[in-house]
Amino acid sequence: MDFSSKLLEQAVDEMSQLPGIGKRTALRLVLHLLKQPEEQTSRLSKSLLDLRENIKLCSNCFNISDTELCEICANPNRVSEIVCVVEDIRDVMAIENTGQYRGHYHVLGGKISPMDGIGPSQLTIKALIEKVREGKIEEIIFALSSTLEGDTTNFYIFKQLEGTGIKTSTIARGISVGDELEYADEVTLGRSITNRIPFENSLKS
């Protein structure tokens, strides 16, 4: 792709680094921004810089937050002894939208995937196990997507919890195998949490 401007080429190159954005789409987006008022582009740039420089991870659940403790963990009406294990903030948002869950979360920051070079040490699994051993959790709900990586991660954590006596469950499989939670409709996802089953039972299916 030949550009008449180095500045345009640089902007397109940076935009095309985003997931799912090819060079043609990046060019369309950059040209769109050029047509907008300068203030709008400035607001976009500032919001992205603020996000990058000031965003925090909740010290308790590792969810993305503006404060040391996220709103969910800081809410005294939530049940801190029940923890739902998810991959990232998109899953937290999907489950929260159901209105069916009142416990806490633990955000792993990904799934175990040897093909992508992601092992247990790259995730927040160790912090979860420590909370269990400290007696802060009574039940863990596995809510990772039913992909090979999700199932592998669930099973790894389950094995790490052996001997702790903690109750482990998994969301009922109204969610199709291979589906990501963020794409599940709210009714199905809500029912799958309410009707969760013991994790051991999921290993037999």
| C-alpha to C-alpha distance for 20 and 160, rounded to whole angstroms | 35
Identify the structural domains of the chain with CATH numbers, from first to last.
6-54 (1.10.8.420), 57-204 (3.40.1360.10)
Instruction: Look at residue 179 and tell me whether its pLDDT is greater than 70.
Output: no
| C-alpha to C-alpha distance for 170 and 194, rounded to whole angstroms | 10
pLDDT in tens, 129-151: 999 999 999 999 999 988 889 98
> What percent of the chain is predicted at pLDDT more than 70?
87
| C-alpha to C-alpha distance for 47 and 2, rounded to whole angstroms | 31
The two tokens of residue 58 are 């909740």
- Its pTM stands at 0.81
The two tokens of residue 188 are 């199905």
| C-alpha to C-alpha distance for 137 and 104, rounded to whole angstroms | 10
Instruction: Look at residue 27 and tell me whether its pLDDT is greater than 60.
Output: yes
Instruction: Look at residue 33 and tell me whether its pLDDT is greater than 70.
Output: yes
DSSP state of 23: H
The closest of 102, 105, 101 to 193, measured between CA atoms, is 101
